[in-house]
Amino acid sequence: MNIILLGPPGAGKGTQAKILERKYGMIQLSTGDMLRAAVAAGTPLGRKVKELMDSGGLVSDDIMISLIGERISQPDCARGCILDGFPRTTAQAEALDKMLAERGLKIDHVIEMKVDEDALVKRITGRYTCAKCGEGYHDEFKRPKKEGVCDVCGSTEFVRRPDDNPETVKARLAAYREQTAPILPFYREKGILRTVDGMASMEEVSRQIEAVLNGN
């Protein structure tokens, strides 16, 4: 099964993708994580996209389509993918359909995570992750069980994203409204779009997503 999690920055796409990955063994394909890894490694791609990401703009369709095209060709994706952060434009959505069809695959569910924009700045500016295993935390909504120690791997090092500041969040929200939200009708017309309440608790959002995956 291949699914897309769609929603503005901070909607909880990454949080829910990781839960699904653990529970169902599907693979999370986060284009944001892929780009951040390229930036951290200082690759030519990373150098090209760093400034744009820091400003909250979208990376070009050509780059993103080729990045995801390479990734979905890997054997582990045959188990099913959770697309987190892709597609983000109509061109990306159309290219994804084409790439999947060439491999005899398709998108089964598109899950829109509906959230109140006012809550997103708080969610994003309070977010941090384990520097070792990438587990996500939040200053208020998800603290480690033992202060300063990752629940998953025990590391004591945490990092915050450079684009998680109020100014950049505004630019990222504008990019979502102007370039990403317009792809919702593309999937609505195909009859595969469902909406969940992204403002509910993490557990409740998971329950709603699972209901969609189970055909309810």
Catalytic residue ranges: 13, 88, 127, 161, 172
Q: Rounded to whole angstroms, how far apart are CA atoms 42 and 40?
A: 5
* Residue closer to ligand AP5, measured from CB, 173 or 191: 173
* Residue closer to ligand AP5, measured from CB, 19 or 193: 19
CB of 139 to ligand AP5, least distance (A): 8
| Residue numbers 24-53 binding ligand AP5 by CB under 6 A | 31-32, 35, 52-53
Q: How many helices (H) and strands (E) does the chain have?
A: 9, 8
Number of Cβ within a 10 Å radius of residue 155: 15
CB of 127 to ligand AP5, least distance (A): 3
Number of residues that bind ligand AP5 (CB under 6 A): 33
| Residue numbers 85-114 binding ligand AP5 by CB under 6 A | 85-86, 88, 92
Half-sphere exposure of 202 (CA within 13 A, CB side): 16
Q: Rounded to whole angstroms, how far apart are CA atoms 3 and 83?
A: 6
* Residue closer to ligand AP5, measured from CB, 9 or 144: 9
4 touching ligand AP5, by CB under 6 A: no
Q: Rounded to whole angstroms, how far apart are CA atoms 172 and 163?
A: 9
Burial bucket for residue 150 (CB in 10 Å: 0-12, 13-18, 19+): buried
Half-sphere exposure of 82 (CA within 13 A, CB side): 24
* Residue closer to ligand AP5, measured from CB, 59 or 213: 59
CA-based nearest residue to 194, from 113, 111, 84, 93: 111
| Residue numbers 138-167 binding ligand AP5 by CB under 6 A | 138, 141-142
Q: State the residue for tokens 């987190």.
A: 84
Site of interaction with ligand AP5 (CB under 6 A):
7, 9-15, 31-32, 35, 52-53, 56-59, 64, 85-86, 88, 92, 123-124, 127, 136, 138, 141-142, 172, 201-202, 205
